[in-house]
Structure 1
Amino acid sequence: MKSFRGVMAGMLVLEAIVVALALPVVAWLGSGIGSVTGWSVIAIAAALLVCCGLLRQSWITVVILLLQAALIAFVVALPAVAIIGLIFLATWLWLFWLRRDVARRMAEGRLPSQQV
Structure 2
Amino acid sequence: MSASAAEAKRAFRGPASACLSLEVIIVPLALLVMDKVEGGLTPAKIAWVVVLTVGMIVAIATFSRPWGLPLALGLQVLMLLGWIVSPSLGVLGVVFCLTWLGMLWMRHEVLKRHARWADQGG
The answer to whether residue 85 in structure 2 is matched with residue 77 in structure 1 is yes
TM-score normalised to structure 1 length:
0.84
Residue 39 (structure 2) pairs with residue 39 (structure 1): no
- What is the Cα deviation at residue 27 of structure 1? 2.5
Who is 1:91 aligned against? 99
Report how far residue 70 of structure 1 moved. 1.1
Give distance in 2, aligned partners of 1:41 and 1:57. 24
Q: Which has the higher contact order (CA 8 A, sep 6+)?
A: 2
Q: CA RMSD in A?
A: 1.9
Give the paired residue count: 111
- 1:53 pairs, out of 58, 61, 66, with 61
Instruction: Give me the whole-angstrom Cα distance separating, in 1, the residues matched to 2:74 and 2:105.
Output: 17
Between the two proteins, what is the percent identity of the paired residues?
Answer: 27
- Deviation, structure 1 residue 61: 2.0
Q: What is the aligned counterpart of 2:16 among 8, 13, 20? A: 8
Deviations 1:55-88 (A, max 9, x none): 1112222222221111111222211110100110
TM-score by length of 2: 0.80
Equivalent-residue separation in structure 1 for 2:47 and 2:13 (angstroms): 28
**Structure 2 gaps, min length 5:** 1-7
Deviation at 1:36, TM superposition (A): 1.6
**What code does the residue aligned with 2:108 have?**
R
Distance in 1 (alpha carbons) for counterparts of 2:82 and 2:40? 13
Name whichever structure is richer in helix by fraction.
2
